[in-house]
Structure 1
Amino acid sequence: MLHVIDAKYIGNYKISVEFNDGCRFVADFESVIKSDHRPIVRQLADLNIFKDFTLHAHTITWSNGVDFAPEFIKSLQQRPSK
């Protein structure tokens, strides 16, 4: 089972994320937040709310109750272009 084991705010909508499988990268949540029409997710567009997160239940959880599955967060990893 995939778990987020470390997360640090980098800037803008970017968080450095480390998983229990050894994968570490900077996840950019900007397009996720700005394309989601659910009001609770749109609240994360406020950087003060976005920066207010903790690790809970093996993933990143924001103060307003939003969380994303670790698998979804890992899917934000950019693949190298060929």
Structure 2
Amino acid sequence: MIPPKVKEVVATNDYSLIVTFDNAVIKQYNMQNMIEQPRFLSLKNKALFMTVSVDMGGYGVSWDSEIDLSENELWTQGIEV
């Protein structure tokens, strides 16, 4: 199954992402454990974490050119709200 594309993303103060997909499903993706991994360590800076945006075409979300998550990861690991 091809995951739906990301339409909107909102970062929360508790290091979660609220992701709206183009099929109108909304999922919460918890990043609290992930920000301890070297790749995501800079996201401990809450100001940076809050700058998340949807990638062009809805293929995921990103913070900068090196930190991103795919729509598949968000879809399969997110919890529907």
What's the TM-score once normalised by structure 1's chain length? 0.74
CA shift, 1:17, in A, is 0.5
Structure 1: 5+ residue stretches without partners: none
Aligned residue in 1 for 2:6: 4
CA shift, 1:21, in A, is 2.5
Q: CA RMSD in A?
A: 2.0
Pair member with larger Rg: 1
Alignment deviations for residues 31-61 of structure 1 (CA, whole Å, 9 cap, x no partner): 1222x233xx211121111111221221211
Aligned residue in 2 for 1:27: 29
Q: Is the 8 A contact 1:12 1:47 kept in 2?
A: no
CA distance in 2: counterparts of 1:65 and 1:50, whole angstroms = 13
What's the TM-score once normalised by structure 2's chain length? 0.75
| Number of residue equivalences | 76
